[in-house]
Amino acid sequence: MTTIHDDPDEFAEDQLAGWLVLYADRVRGVHGGVVALPTEGADPQVAVVVGGGSGHYPAFCGVVGPGFATGAVVGNIFTSPSTAQVYAVAKAADQGKGVVLSFGNYAGDTMNFGLAAERLNAEGIDTRIVIVTDDIASADEESKRRGIAGDFSVFKAMGAAAASGATLDEVERIGNASNAATRTIGVAFAGCTMPGATEPLFTVPDGHLGLGLGIHGEPGIEDVPLLRATELASLLVSRLLDDRPAGAGTRVAPILNGLGDTKYEELFLLWGRVLPLLRDAGIEVVEPEVGELVTSLDMGGCSLTLQWLDDELEALWRADAYTPAYRKVAAPVSALVPAEAVADAEEAATVVPEATDASRQAAQTVRSAVEAIDALLREHEEELGRIDAVAGDGDHGRGMVKGIGAARKAVDRVGQEAGVAFVLGRAGDAWAEFAGGTSGVLWGAALEAFGRSLGDDRDAYEASDVVAAAQAFADSIVHLGGASRGDKTLLDALLPFVAALDSSVTAGQSLASAWQGAAEVARDEAVKTADLTPKVGRARPLAEKSLGTPDAGATSMGMILTRVGEVLATRAADKEGTHA
């Protein structure tokens, strides 16, 4: 719901007044809209004047500035600006080189921009019109389609052309070529609400999305069951590829656009699904944009735009621009070292310390354990999440899977010449970096501590050395986490494990046998945490709620220690078989 306002009828005027105050250093207000301030010493250029109703920010005033639009006409919410408003903005924007008016294909806009163009031409200001028709869901015939997020692509091309000194004829031609090369399809998850209204302009049935929405609150052309991100990406991409322009090449400038209520993080996730589909289709992606570029107040939804590029359109898409809502400056980015080169340099700079044969053999055990733990945690991810959700945020299973997954990849990248301390250190670094949260930090630091205790320079590793490393692992968590046994954390399983392991090894048991017995103690103690209430961490405010449910961290610790014990037993049996 659009909540912040005084008089809903004055919403469009009031928001524009606030915006003008904010950006008074780069634009000025005129009747009906805004015009960019001139650049000192710059040659006059063709004026590109864009516009439509309010409610679509950053369209339209947000794209006024060098390299983009010269002016923007701002109508009422979802309403075409008047002829007088269009005329006034265009007149103020004209620099003596002519004007191009551009807008989405809606009846009111077509009429009012057209009448204003007639008036301007009658006064000797050469004025052309470029209408955006990118919405493939609104009509089969291209000339009858609506203009939605493709507005941005077309405006950008013309603005860049004008900034480069193109003539009026050239800017008009480029605008029409850009429009012909641009296709968009969108989906809505929820309708938008006008200022002062209590109900949305349209609703989407529960469990569905509206396919083919418009940006003025028009519902989609059909309701389809709500899709997972991968399926949604496939729907959007396939529809656009099926409607690619005649003679289209293989390069596209994509825009994944949020419509007002869809979070950036959701768009980023969806882009991660869209990009592989485009690449699999043989499409080369050129400087994609993901974010809110053409919105619809608070509508929940998104759209995908593809502009098919030739050499001319690609250069215009890449061109610099600086506006209140959109900034592209190529020089700082082009000066950066590519990520691949940085990774290669880091890899080349990494010196693997010398390691004894015993250390390398111990590293093989670590590799086997990491692989086994990875499989274990993926198998129990949902279970750990359910346990954590009772008094936490339910992300323990996901976090552990991300941590061990990153650790496994890091270990797999380490050469066989590396010793156990180096391998564990790399695993810990990766776990801490990618798991996130307190748990990720603790596991990462603890793995590094385990490795440091073992070292890479021993000629042999005794069971007592592993006990000392396990103690270093536990000490690291105690020091960083600030918790104690009885606080309902992973320490309630880990500390009894270390004590039992030490006792069994001191009594003369083999490492594998002692570890398995201690792991059983850890599992039992993890179960007993159901009778405890948390005293630290984010679960503490819901302490009473957690009674009767074991701690997720202690539970996963018990699982992991058990699986490591199985690995140690298997490797011990293999070793005995080899000697036999």
Contact by Cβ (8 Å): 375, 531: no
Burial code (b: 16+ CB inside 10 Å, e: under 16) for 317-344 equals bebebebbbbebeeeeeeeeeeeeeeee
Report the distance separating Cα 505 and Cα 463, nearest Å.
7
Q: Is the dihedral of CA 285, 291, 293, 296 positive or negative?
A: positive
Residue 451, exposed/middle/buried by CB under 10 A (0-12, 13-18, 19+)?
buried
Residue 462, exposed/middle/buried by CB under 10 A (0-12, 13-18, 19+)?
exposed
> H/E element holding 166?
none
Look at residues 234, 228, 185 and name the one whose alpha carbon lies nearest to residue 210: 185
Report the distance separating Cα 498 and Cα 473, nearest Å.
9
Residue 18, exposed/middle/buried by CB under 10 A (0-12, 13-18, 19+)?
exposed
Report DSSP letters for 279-317, one per residue. HHTTPEE-S-EEE-SS--TTBEEEEEEEEE--HHHHHHH
Q: How far is CA 298 from CA 61, 119, 191, 221, 295, in A?
A: 18, 36, 8, 20, 8
Q: Is the dihedral of CA 172, 173, 178, 180 positive or negative?
A: positive
Strand partners of residue 508: none
Contact by Cβ (8 Å): 557, 490: yes
Cα–chain center distance at 114: 40
Report the distance separating Cα 544 and Cα 539, nearest Å.
10
Look at residues 146, 67, 50 and name the one whose alpha carbon lies nearest to residue 107: 146
User: Within 13 Å, how many C-alpha atoms sit on residue 416's CB side?
Assistant: 1
Report the distance separating Cα 498 and Cα 431, nearest Å.
22
Return the active site residues.
216
> What phi and psi, each to the nearest 5 degrees, are found at residue 208?
-130, 170
> H/E element holding 210?
strand 208-211
Residue 79, exposed/middle/buried by CB under 10 A (0-12, 13-18, 19+)?
middle
Tokens of 160: 């860049």
Report DSSP letters for 367-418, one per residue. HHHHHHHHHHHHHTHHHHHHHHHTTS-S-HHHHHHHHHHHHHHHHHHS-TT-
Look at residues 293, 298, 45, 295 and name the one whose alpha carbon lies nearest to residue 155: 293
